[in-house]
Amino acid sequence: MPNFDSKFFRKMLRFFCIICVFLVFNCQSKFLDNNSSKPKIIVGVVVDQMRYDYLTRLENKFTEYGFNRLINDGFNCTNNHYNFVPTVTGPGHSSIATGSTPSVHGIVGNEWYVRNLQKNIYCATDLNYENIGGNAYYGKKSPNNLLVTTFADQNRIQNKMRSKTISVSIKDRGAIFMGGKNANAAYWFYGKNKGEWITSSFYMNELPSWVKKFNEPENISRFLNEWELLYDLKSYDLKREDNNDFEIFFKGKNDSSFPYLTKNLMEKNDGFDMISETPFGNSMTTDFAIAAIEGEKLGDDEYTDVLTISYSSTDYIGHNFGVFSLETEDTYLRLDLEIKRLLDYLDNKMGKNNYSLFLTADHGALEVPAYLNSKGVKAASVNKYKFRKSIIEYLDETFGSKKIIEHSINNHIYINYAEVNSLDLDIDLVKEKIVNHLKTYEFINSAYSLDKIISLSKLTGYQELIKNGYHPERSGDIVFVLNPNTIIYGDKGTTHGSGYDYDTHVPLLFYGNGINKGETRGRTEITDIAPTINALLGLKTSETYSGKILDFVIK
């Protein structure tokens, strides 16, 4: 029988207690370290209409502190693509945020046709809510047309709604769909005669004091700057003369050359909307995002907050002037400085390793077809009214009716089933005739009946994009694919929406807390962003995600 009163035993007992205390303390420290290793804030940056090649083409002109800082000190997914069509703003932002394609999240276009209403609806319109600022048309909005949750929603739900989500964009759809269904607020810009950041009663009944302060006229007027070149003209990659006939002119200006006297152009170009049409719309967006961090106290507690920022002016400028214009290049050189300014602010506010950021785009763009043609590259801009008229004439000749097609949008054709039935026509024959006729146009690459696309077990690459962009309740009956370098648009300027690389290949950069340095040339897809952010935050993977976790990005 040992002597439990012995000095030896008492010493061993004390030693054992010390070890236990040490182990408990050590475990607690590791737990706290793991907790504190989570970023204070996730910042999601979307650049509207940014092609991937802007990063490589302008790399030597960017500073080392903006885009190049994200590339050199973060993780660069160099072969990142959209995996659906159409490649436009509403579906793009929705897929970034939800990790799913339009076939799941339901945002099949910026607009789509609703058969029972017999009209188009805008992707973010919701008449159940009122405008808070601006006017009714611009404010009756919500995320309710989005059918699934976003990574920001998942974060709030996991944290029992104690974290915050704030979403900012000049465009309402850029803010609303990135923020998701549970955002504390989404803000967008109303120009016209007011010039103010607004929201919807879906989020609140009154603008917060910090937004009201930002909206003060003397503050908004700061962004009505004369647009001159940032650097000397010789330093730009001038592909064509500044003044040319390929670009869309502002009303009241008879050429497309610098400078642009913004205040003088306001009257004929929708007032304060002129801010959006210049690089200073991006500057305003950065300022508003920083004001949101301060006003909402984002990153101030133990729960990771989410801020999404969508830079929209790049899209307005890209549509007007094109990919290789002097205006577009200048805009991206200025945006590089905005990215630097945002990163510097986050460093000072959050601490250099206390935030995580990703940067991507909602789509790319085709260069202006008229310019491509002038350089010997076959391209076309199709007049949609003439195109539609010729199809209707064909159907009238074939079936004796001009009402076979009910509507067309997003390269989808909606058949008027009531008309087909009243003429006692076979619906499959009607579809076949339309598909075959579409293939006769020299600017159309292919056409399909969508029910056949959905039923195929083996699909080509482009057919897969069509399938991923199809939602049975919102999409049409027949889809057509334009030739490469072809758009349905006006004679000047350009647009996007196809499944070709110039529209699908966009940047994807990760940076900051928990992110490895490096790059991959392997293919990644836009739907991979949300699962990767979820994994970074230790959140459960949503069953609606169709993307994958990019585990090589995360430390």
- Gap between the Cα atoms of 414 and 274, Å rounded: 36
Cα-based distances in Å from 161 to 232, 440, 503? 50, 55, 36
Alpha-carbon dihedral angle through residues 217, 219, 223, 225, given to the nearest 10 degrees: 80
Encoded amino acid at 143, one letter:
P
DSSP-assigned beta bridge partners for residue 141: 125
Closest CA to 431 of 462, 395, 475: 395
The candidate with the shortest Cα–Cα distance to 102, out of 550, 549, 544, is: 544
**CA-wise closest residue to 151 among 43, 302, 312:** 43
Count other C-beta atoms under 10 Å from residue 344's C-beta. 13
Question: What tokens appear for 13 in the block?
Answer: 């007992």
Query: Which one is catalytic: 78, 89, 304, 308?
Result: 89
Q: Write the CA distances from 97 to 90, 376, 508, 528, 546, integer angstroms.
A: 11, 39, 13, 10, 12
Q: Are 307 and 289 in contact (CB under 8 A)?
A: yes
CA distances 349 to 1, 46, 94, 200, 441, Å, are 65, 21, 29, 29, 57
- Residue 500: strand, helix, or coil: coil
Q: Is 89 a catalytic residue?
A: yes
Tell me the two tokens of residue 267. Answer: 């009257």
Angle made by CA atoms 385, 387, 392, in degrees to the nearest 5? 95
Active site residues: 89
